[in-house]
Structure 1
Amino acid sequence: MREYLLVALTAAVVTFLLVGLVRALAFRIGAVAYPRQRDVHVKPMPRMGGLAMYGGVIGGMLLAHQLPVLRSAFDFSDDPYAVMIGGGVIVLVGVLDDRFELDSLTKLAGQVTSAGILVLFGLQWLVFWVPWGDDGAGTGSVLALDQNQGALLSVLLAVTMVNAMNFVDGLDGLAAGIGLIAAIATCAFSIGLLADNGGEVGAYPPALIAATLAGACLGFLPHNFNPARIFMGDSGSMLIGLMLAAATTSASGKINYSSLDATDLLGLLSPLVVVAAVLFVPMLDLLMAVVRRTRRGESPFSADKMHLHHRLLEIGHSQRRAVLLIYLWAGVLAFGAVALTLFDDAVVLWCLAIGLLLALLVSAIPRLREPRRG
């Protein structure tokens, strides 16, 4: 735990210190976001914050490579190398987009390339539990994927996560905060796997990937929370999505299914549950945007002003309160799912229900006040 905290803190400090340099570079080369009709900022804002975040990730990884325990994550797995190389490619694509505004197909090609690099290094889904079939004990079966199936599923998941985080990046501090919450939840889940597997070395990489991402998001957030001084741009949001996909994919192969039975449904489905909960908010936003735009006969990648955060602003929430509300929703769902896989189900379900009810009531406060005003 001490080494994970040290790595996360190092990533945060490096990111925080690099932001000033990246901000000056963005102004110098013209990577600046000028206000548009769908935007909520009112003055030109430098982008490319993802470059500083990537520097923080590299700093955390380099430190981990020198630590006595976490060094094993590099000796017994190529997952950290895959993240550094694939992350570098997607940050490069994002930087080019922040400066030149690439078309959607070019960005998609870059996303697929980055996800393909993860697969080439062996970071892909290979097995997961399904409720059908029978392994002889009536407990369902473990579905094993061949290399092609696993590669396709892993690339599809990574590209979906990348675009989900890209879509949700619309308010100051929103993507960085969701990335921080999701990374901490994924790290906690991965450390839980360590405990379940008796500290097996193979479970180190997902926790390390999540810890460095959490540190990078934490270091960037002070510069990006409202009022922001810099945007992370596509270079940052796509990096967050790719690293979350890498961490959850890496963790999925570390589940010891032989120690679980059919009564422990949450344990058997834990990789899928955590992935779904961690990215529920951005995935919901992505799905609604695709449906909304295709029904209008537009491209799914065309921009509009009807995302979840825009709707919260419309019903009367301020920018800061809208961001904090989405943090609340993301935190309740992500940490609730992780807790379900680690603690007593009944207690966690009650706490999760209370948390969701609280989040719903706080979100609806402006609507509840309207009759009184009338």
Structure 2
Amino acid sequence: MRVYLLIAAIAGGVTWLVTPIVRHMAIEIGAVGEVRARDVHKIPTPRMGGVAMLIGFVVAMLFASRIPFISGLFREDTTAWVIMIGAALVSLLGVADDVWDLDWMLKLAGQLLISVFVSWGGVQIISLPLGSLVAASPSLSMAITAILIVASINAVNFVDGLDGLASGIVAIGGVAFAIYSYILARTSPSYASMATLIDVALVGICVGFILHNWHPAKLFMGDSGSMLLGYLITCASIVMTGRLDPMSVHTSVYLPVFMPILLPVLVLFLPVLDMCLAIVRRLSHGQSPMHPDRMHLHHRMLGIGHGVRGAVSILWGWAALIAFGSLSVLFFQPFHVAIGMAVATVVLTVATMYPYMKHRLPEIREENREYREARRGAEHTRHGRR
């Protein structure tokens, strides 16, 4: 465990250190986001923060490759190197979008090509609780993996609308993934786990970047960051569960809720929900699924009356509830988990709706007062006519 904490600290420290350098570079090359109608920020802010996160991740992984406890993961398999190459390609695609604002179809095509490459390189969902995908069709395994990676990349990209929101949600998911993968690794002869390694490095770069990205942000992660985070957390989940044989793991550890397809959805529930709602909303209006608007979950939180920091904190709370609520069934009785989640849901619901009710309740009381006065006036007029 101490080795993983060291890797997380290295990833976070490197990201924190190089972020100001990347910010200066973004300004120099013109990767500065103009203020658009849908944006929350009021002044042009440099993007490309994902480059700093990529550097932090790669440095942490290279450092890990030299640690005896983990180095075997790099010698025995090419998965780590394929994931790092894919991370660099995803981040470069995001940099191109941060600088030149690529057409969404071109960006989607690039995401798909990179996902296919990573899947072809060995990062695949090769088994499900229903059976082996490779036995059915290697092409099917690659296709499902690529689609899952692209979907997660865009889910995180959709939710990246407030300072610290996307990085915080992914960090929460990364912690949940790391705990679960570490538990699984303890059932194997070696405690070393590629999934845990990716997760802790991911959490580290998120925390290191949040220190510069907390409202008011000095630098945005841009598509180079949001796509990188979606890519990495999905690769970690695929490495963790996509090769897991349910028959070889004790039932107290492996639960149906953690199936390879459902696990990213549970941990990234808010980004996936926001993406699905946005796609349905835009298609129903005859618009492109990538057409920008101000109807995302974080925009609605601001519309209710929350400030940026308050909205981010509450959305983090919802993400933590879903991620750790699902994970807690490994340690507590389902009945107790259900009670705890119900209480937390009530608390978060009150916190979410408080600004709205704070302003709305006086309006409701005023409306009721006016209604009663109007009713008494009508009754008085009616009695006077008699």
Do these two structures clear the TM 0.5 threshold for a shared fold by scoring above it?
A: yes
Matches within 5 A, 1:280-299: 280-299=269-288
Aligned counterpart for 2:327 among listed residues 338, 341, 346:
338
The CA distance in 2 between the partners of 1:79 and 1:253, in whole Å, is 13
Q: 1:264 to 1:163 in 2, by over 3 A?
A: same
The CA distance in 2 between the partners of 1:371 and 1:359, in whole Å, is 18
Question: Does 2:118 correspond to 1:118?
Answer: yes
Q: Give the counterpart letter for 2:106 in structure 1.
A: T
Query: Which stretch of the first structure deviates more once superposed, 181-190 or 6-15?
Result: 181-190
Residue aligning to 1:27: 27
Question: Does 2:258 correspond to 1:270?
Answer: yes
Per the TM alignment, residue 200 of structure 1 is displaced from its structure 2 partner at its CA by 5.4
TM-score, reference length from structure 2? 0.89
3-state SS in 2 of match to 1:39: coil
Per the TM alignment, residue 128 of structure 1 is displaced from its structure 2 partner at its CA by 1.3
Q: Give the counterpart letter for 1:110 in structure 2.
A: G
Question: Does 2:247 correspond to 1:258?
Answer: yes
Give 1 or 2 for the bigger CA radius of gyration.
2
Per the TM alignment, residue 264 of structure 1 is displaced from its structure 2 partner at its CA by 6.5
The CA distance in 2 between the partners of 1:86 and 1:105, in whole Å, is 19
The CA distance in 1 between the partners of 2:279 and 2:23, in whole Å, is 32
The CA distance in 1 between the partners of 2:105 and 2:64, in whole Å, is 36
Query: Do the aligned partners of 1:77 and 1:205 also contact (CA within 8 Å) in 2?
Result: no
Per the TM alignment, residue 142 of structure 1 is displaced from its structure 2 partner at its CA by 6.8
Structure 2 unmatched ranges of 5 or more: 364-386
Question: Does 2:174 correspond to 1:183?
Answer: yes
Per the TM alignment, residue 256 of structure 1 is displaced from its structure 2 partner at its CA by 4.1
Residue aligning to 1:133: none
Query: Do the aligned partners of 1:223 and 1:230 also contact (CA within 8 Å) in 2?
Result: yes
Q: Give the counterpart letter for 1:339 in structure 2.
A: S
Residue aligning to 1:225: 214
Task: Tell me how large the CA RMSD over aligned residues is.
Answer: 1.8
Deviations for 1:264-310, whole angstroms, at most 9, x for unmatched residues? 79613413443221110000000000000001100000100000000
Query: Do the aligned partners of 1:285 and 1:307 also contact (CA within 8 Å) in 2?
Result: yes
Q: How many residues align?
A: 361
Query: Do the aligned partners of 1:257 and 1:268 also contact (CA within 8 Å) in 2?
Result: no
Q: Give the counterpart letter for 1:157 in structure 2.
A: L
The CA distance in 2 between the partners of 1:365 and 1:22, in whole Å, is 39
Aligned counterpart for 1:205 among listed residues 162, 179, 194:
194
Per the TM alignment, residue 343 of structure 1 is displaced from its structure 2 partner at its CA by 4.2
3-state SS in 1 of match to 2:69: coil
Query: Which stretch of the first structure deviates more once superposed, 176-185 or 341-350?
Result: 341-350
Structure 1 unmatched ranges of 5 or more: 131-140
The CA distance in 2 between the partners of 1:197 and 1:271, in whole Å, is 19
Residue aligning to 1:303: 292
Per the TM alignment, residue 220 of structure 1 is displaced from its structure 2 partner at its CA by 0.3
Q: 1:352 to 1:93 in 2, by over 3 A?
A: same
Per the TM alignment, residue 348 of structure 1 is displaced from its structure 2 partner at its CA by 2.3
Matches within 5 A, 1:341-356: 341-356=330-345
Q: Give the counterpart letter for 1:267 in structure 2.
A: L
